[in-house]
Amino acid sequence: MKEQESTEEQESTEEQESTEEQESPKEVKGMKELVAFIAKAIVNAPDSVEVTEETGEQGTTLKLQVADEDKGRVIGKQGRVAQAMRTLIRVKAAREGTRVSLEII
């Protein structure tokens, strides 16, 4: 009986850990999709759009990579398009209680 209880406790602990692990990528995944959606709508070569993530001490950094000829479109005049994307990400992250930044490479 004790063995069965300890096995159940281990399983419930593992389920809680896996749930916690899944929540963080789910939050960032939505932001990655948002950045990719906006970028693909702006650029001439939507197949070259790639969004990767890096998690560090100061939160998550999304890195947007586009074709060289499309970087100007993504950045926009005086950086307005890039700043708008960063604002959207910051709002979405604040609602979820995380910190996310965007880099265009």
Domain count, the chain: 1
| Rounded average pLDDT over 13-42 | 70
- 18 in any annotated domain: no
Structure confidence by residue, pLDDT tens digits, 34-63? 999 999 999 999 999 999 999 999 899 999
- State the DSSP code for 44: S
| CATH code (residue 41) | 3.30.300.20
Quote the domain boundaries for residue 36: 26-104
Asked if 60 and 23 touch (Cβ cutoff 8 Å), the reply is no
- 75 in any annotated domain: yes
- 8 in any annotated domain: no
- 2 in any annotated domain: no
Asked if 48 and 70 touch (Cβ cutoff 8 Å), the reply is yes
- 9 in any annotated domain: no
- C-alpha distances (whole Å) from 2 to each of 9, 10, 14, 86 are 11, 12, 18, 53
User: Hey, what amino acid is at 16?
Assistant: Q
Angle subtended at Cα 101 by Cα 98 and Cα 102, rounded to the nearest 5 degrees: 145
pTM: 0.73
- 85 in any annotated domain: yes
- 13 in any annotated domain: no
- 19 in any annotated domain: no
Give the model's pLDDT for residue 89: 95
